[in-house]
Amino acid sequence: MIDLKTLPAQIFTKQHMLIFGGVLVGFFVIVWLFDLLIMPLYTKHDEALAVPNVIAQPFETAKDLMEMQGLKVIKQGEIHDSSLPFGYVVDQNPRPDRLVKKGRRVYLTISVGEREIEVPKLTDFSERNAEEIVKSVGLRIGDRDYKYIPDEDPNKVIAQFPSPHDFVKANTAIDITVSLGKPVENVIVPSVLGKNFETARREIQRAGLMLGKISYRINTDLLPNTVIDQSLDAGVTIAYGDTINLVISSIPKIER
């Protein structure tokens, strides 16, 4: 049986529940429409593009790929890069895979290849100064030739290759010829025992001797290529241009 006293309250409650439910449904519909239709139109989210990765690609290839995606390419600058040849992309901004709008500018940095170094003038400098000069610019001394030259001071660089002002890659070896001064008839045998082969060879040439036979002997107590014997005793005076033989240390071969 319906209680007439509580009927208005029940009707009021149901009406409010229906209104509240309608409002709630309407709110969610509005949010859904806002997210689905209004926001994309406002932000153009549907036009967002992932920036392709064009690093380590030729500039023209990178440019074509960017333009196919609706992006604009700007060459930002050029830098030396030893790992990429001339004309390849070293860096890009925005970075790869970043979401951007269509028509966005993408700045590319291009490699101009490995940096080349101008060969310094070494002639007329001492051998030690020549070593310091080439090291300071990222080069190194290569082969050394020693000659007795009339009217030239000893220990002075008289020739070099490559020539001064040539351009070479970093760490290139510069070969030099060093004067030993006036020719002599007799020279003193240097001691090269315990020295590595390259150092021994230079000292033998600098002394005015010829390097003769090189033989090898297994020695596990010394580093490989260490001089363990010489055919002429150190300190002995001999004729200029005589030959000295060396015995060099080696390590046992590993059997496989």
List of E strands, 82-131: 89-93, 99-101, 105-111, 116-118
* Token output for 223: 């580093």
Asked whether the predicted pLDDT for residue 15 surpasses 90, the reply is: no
Sign of CA pseudo-dihedral 202, 206, 212, 213: negative
Q: Write out the residue limits of the CATH 3.30.10.20 domain(s) in the chain.
A: 46-111, 115-183, 184-256
* CATH of range 115-183; options 3.40.50.720, 3.40.50.40, 1.10.1740.10, 3.30.10.20: 3.30.10.20
Q: What is the pLDDT of residues 35-47, one digit of tens each?
A: 555 545 544 545 6
**Mean pLDDT score, 181-201:** 93
Across the chain, the runs of DSSP E, i.e. the strands, are: 48-50, 72-79, 89-93, 99-101, 105-111, 116-118, 140-147, 156-161, 167-169, 173-179, 186-188, 210-218, 227-230, 237-239, 243-250
Burial of 88 (0-12, 13-18, 19+ CB in 10 A): buried
CATH 2.30.110.10 fits 184-256, yes or no: no
46-111 maps to which CATH number?
3.30.10.20
pLDDT beyond 80 at 89: yes
Structure confidence by residue, pLDDT tens digits, 128-161: 999 999 999 999 999 999 988 888 899 999 999 9
